[in-house]
């Protein structure tokens, strides 16, 4: 298949390489003209994904028309804050016969919409959207390390199409019709990963981190169900699976951000030291807003917001979590 990949970050590069290996014809669009020219010439980005080489016959360009002309499908891998702008740019170029899948994990900051909702509102010809999510660091995918993800869509036929396109001997794809749950799992786990990183930065040990991850999954599930997701989705790859890898991996930018905050850096200083986007920062405020609308208690997400945006210290936030009233573990109220 001819597939337009929109987004030249590490995940966009990794999926372009993967699609080429799988026998498809990917074409990569890079937002910045100079970065596009550099990547087209050198075929790799030493800063974002060192050692990952794009094949010479893969088109890399800043020209959207070249990337989307005659494609069978479109893969959106731009940062969450750029999804709306990108959708508006490509709306007239996407045909009704073209499938669209989003591999961006996040919530739109002002509207709190999921990425598929943003795309549906701005792609006039897209009748249904799929999401690709799960524990999948770009650094490992390009090395052909075993990876499993979920292709989710309200349209089961589209989920199956995406599965067949991306599935390979090292990249296993499952399907789901719980698009809401899969997208929320991929977005909310980034907020919990910031909190996990804070425990690393504070040197609180494995007990604290394990507890935070477990109760964080509880929060993700509670909020997701309130927003229309299926509870079992959060026990799967897009929930627990992605949460584990994002909270524990050295590749996780959200965990790294949290670690810097746990060591005493403020948000501005921590972000200035990072090369790639930590989606959990923008997602945190949206997640809290959705929780308030749904009247769902989310103590960990609340404390992450206080650290990020209110100047509350990591120590004070942890104290607030530990001083909460005692509950039964099965209590679905937090």
- Please indicate, yes or no, whether residues 10 and 110 belong to a single structural domain of this protein: yes
b (16+ CB within 10 A) / e for 109-132: beebbbbbbbbbebbeebebbbbb
Instruction: Give rounded-to-5 percent helix, strand, coil for the chain.
Output: 55, 10, 35
CATH number, position 255:
1.10.1040.10
The tally of domains found in the chain comes to 2
- Please indicate, yes or no, whether residues 166 and 270 belong to a single structural domain of this protein: no
**Residue 269: enclosing H or E segment and its boundaries?**
helix 267-272
- Bridge partners of 102, per DSSP, are 76, 131
Q: Which of 248, 220, 238 is nearest to 102 (CA)?
A: 238
CA distance 252 to 285: 20
Other C-beta atoms lying within 10 Å of the C-beta of residue 57: 7
| Domain stops at, among 154, 177, 200 | 177
CA distance 149 to 173: 5
CATH number, position 158:
3.40.50.720
- Domain assignment of residue 332, yes or no: no
- Domain assignment of residue 171, yes or no: yes
- Domain assignment of residue 330, yes or no: no
- Please indicate, yes or no, whether residues 85 and 197 belong to a single structural domain of this protein: no
Angle at 116 between CA 114 and CA 119, to 5 degrees: 115
At 126 the pLDDT is 83
The string of pLDDT tens digits covering residues 206-261 is 999 999 999 999 999 999 999 999 999 999 999 999 999 999 999 999 999 999 99
- Please indicate, yes or no, whether residues 274 and 308 belong to a single structural domain of this protein: yes
Contact 233, 176 (CB under 8 A): yes
- Phi, psi of 95, deg, nearest 5: -85, 160
At 117 the pLDDT is 97
Q: Does the predicted TM-score (pTM) go above 0.85?
A: yes
- Please indicate, yes or no, whether residues 165 and 234 belong to a single structural domain of this protein: no
Asked about 189 being catalytic, the answer comes back as yes
Contact 73, 4 (CB under 8 A): yes
- Please indicate, yes or no, whether residues 224 and 311 belong to a single structural domain of this protein: yes
- Please indicate, yes or no, whether residues 197 and 255 belong to a single structural domain of this protein: yes
Catalytic residue among 20, 120, 143, 189: 189
User: Position of tokens 């789901």?
Assistant: 176
pLDDT band of residue 332 (cuts 50, 70, 90) is low
- Please indicate, yes or no, whether residues 206 and 153 belong to a single structural domain of this protein: no
- Please indicate, yes or no, whether residues 113 and 145 belong to a single structural domain of this protein: yes
Range of the domain at 296: 184-322
Angle at 276 between CA 273 and CA 185, to 5 degrees: 120
- Please indicate, yes or no, whether residues 220 and 248 belong to a single structural domain of this protein: yes
- Please indicate, yes or no, whether residues 188 and 172 belong to a single structural domain of this protein: no
Other C-beta atoms lying within 10 Å of the C-beta of residue 216: 24
| Domain stops at, among 132, 151, 177 | 177
**Residue 334: enclosing H or E segment and its boundaries?**
none
The string of pLDDT tens digits covering residues 92-116 is 999 999 999 999 999 999 999 999 9
- Domain assignment of residue 233, yes or no: yes
């Amino acid at each position: 298949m001819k597939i337009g990949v929109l987004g030249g970050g590490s995940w966009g590069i990794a999926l372009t390489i993967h699609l080429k290996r799988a026998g498809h014809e990917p074409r990569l669009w890079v937002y910045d003209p100079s970065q596009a020219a550099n990547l087209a010439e050198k075929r790799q980005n030493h800063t974002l994904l060192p050692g990952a080489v794009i094949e010479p016959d893969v088109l890399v360009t800043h020209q959207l028309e070249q990337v989307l002309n005659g494609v069978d499908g479109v893969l959106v891998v731009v940062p969450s804050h750029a999804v709306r702008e990108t959708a508006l740019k490509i709306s007239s170029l996407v045909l009704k016969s073209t499938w669209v899948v989003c591999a961006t994990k996040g919530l739109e900051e002002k509207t709190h919409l999921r990425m598929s909702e943003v795309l549906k509102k701005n792609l006039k010809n897209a009748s249904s959207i799929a999401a690709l999510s799960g524990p999948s660091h770009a650094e490992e995918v390009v090395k052909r390390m075993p990876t499993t993800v979920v292709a989710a869509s309200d349209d089961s036929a589209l989920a199956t199409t995406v599965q067949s396109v991306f599935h390979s001997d090292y990249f296993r794809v499952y399907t789901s019709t719980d698009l809401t749950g899969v997208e929320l799992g991929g977005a909310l786990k980034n907020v919990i990963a910031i909190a996990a990183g804070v425990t690393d930065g504070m040197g609180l040990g494995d007990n604290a981190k394990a507890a935070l991850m477990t109760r964080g999954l509880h929060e993700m599930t509670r909020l997701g169900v309130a927003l229309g997701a299926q509870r079992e989705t959060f026990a799967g790859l897009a929930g627990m699976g992605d949460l584990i890898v994002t909270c524990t991996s050295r590749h996780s930018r959200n965990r790294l951000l949290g670690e810097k905050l746990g060591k005493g850096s403020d948000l501005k200083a921590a972000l200035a030291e990072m090369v790639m986007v930590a989606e959990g920062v923008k997602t945190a405020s949206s997640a809290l807003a959705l929780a308030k609308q749904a009247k769902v208690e989310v103590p960990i997400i609340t404390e992450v917001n206080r650290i990020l945006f209110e100047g509350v210290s990591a120590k004070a936030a942890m104290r607030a979590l530990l001083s909460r009233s005692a509950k039964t573990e099965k209590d679905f109220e937090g």
